[in-house]
Amino acid sequence: MPPKRNKSILISYKTLRRLIGILGMALPLALITGGFLQPGGGIQGSISAYYHTNMRDLFVGILFMVGLFLISYHGYDKEDNLVTNFSGLFAIGVALFPTIVPKTTSAAISHAGGSPADVSESALLGVFQLEPELSGTLHLLWALLFFILLAYNAYFLFTKTGDKKPGPQKLKRNIMYRICGILIVASLLGIVFYLTFLQKTVLRLYAPVLILETIALWAFGFSWLVKGETIFRDEK
């Protein structure tokens, strides 16, 4: 293949990695900011809860973009491709199968096309109009698998070096990848611990799930920005 074409392909893949990273980090910021801009909005209990607010279209749109970018991304080997492809599918699944309507979002729901009475916890959810329990279960499953694969990708796949000896910048990137992978797993464990033992405590007033999800998404996004050599670029 001509050198110029090789270079253009390399640049495009770096750009794609950066776009994935930017979208991952922008998602919680955009949802939280947009929710505050609407009367009666405010902070929701989780990222997924913004599906039931005025930010529904943005929530679904960004997840679809992240999912499609991940699916279109081609890594260095079959394992890399499988992980990113399934990560993309799970991201789209999170958007297609919404979580149960939170009781705390009734004010925001009124700005999403209806009044609180129009959208109840017993209403059918998503494009497939599933029962809330089924949709919520699938949503949690896809979200869990999505984050697990993101952590696996950052910790184990991004750090691969092949037969080539890693340079100083690559070693720095590997440290960042592992930190990001650990942060994603730690955030997931924190969410599970909170939902199991602390959900009915005063901590719920501080939206711990939203905070931990934001940390996980920022870690995901940052790892892809590093992969795109936004920082710690190889010396030419």
Give residue-wise pLDDT tens across range 196-228. Answer: 999 999 999 999 999 999 999 999 999 999 999
Write out pLDDT tens, residues 127-145. 999 999 999 999 999 999 9
CB 87 within 8 Å of CB 150: yes
Which letter does DSSP use for residue 98 in this model?
Answer: P
Give the pLDDT of residue 102.
61
- Is residue 48 scored above 90 in pLDDT? yes
With contact defined as beta carbons under 8 Å apart, do 31 and 49 qualify? no
What is residue 11's predicted lDDT score, i.e. its pLDDT? 55
Tell me the pLDDT tens digit for each residue of 188-204: 999 999 999 999 999 99
pTM (global) more than 0.95: no
Question: What average pLDDT does range 52-66 have in this prediction?
Answer: 95
Confidence at residue 121, expressed as pLDDT on a 0 to 100 scale:
57
Type of residue numbered 52: H
pLDDT at 35 over 50: yes
> What is the Cα–Cα distance from 102 to 126, expressed in whole angstroms?
15
Tell me if residue 125 falls in helix, strand or coil: strand
CA distance 60 to 182: 27
Q: What torsion, rounded to 10 degrees, do the Cα atoms 213, 150, 223, 165 define?
A: 150
- Output 46 or 107, whichever has higher pLDDT: 46
What percent of the chain stands above pLDDT 90?
70
Confidence at residue 190, expressed as pLDDT on a 0 to 100 scale: 98
- CA 68 to chain CA centroid, Å, is 13
**pLDDT higher than threshold 70 for residue 117:** no
- 3-state secondary structure at position 156: helix
Q: How confident is the model at residue 106 (pLDDT cuts 50, 70, 90)?
A: very low
Within a 13 Å sphere around the CA of 141, how many CA atoms are in the beta-carbon half? 10
pLDDT digits 0-9 by tens, 70-96: 999 988 889 999 999 999 999 999 999
SS3 40: coil
For the chain, the average pLDDT equals 87
Q: Is the pLDDT of residue 120 over 70?
A: no
Nearest-5° Cα angle at 179, 73 to 11: 30
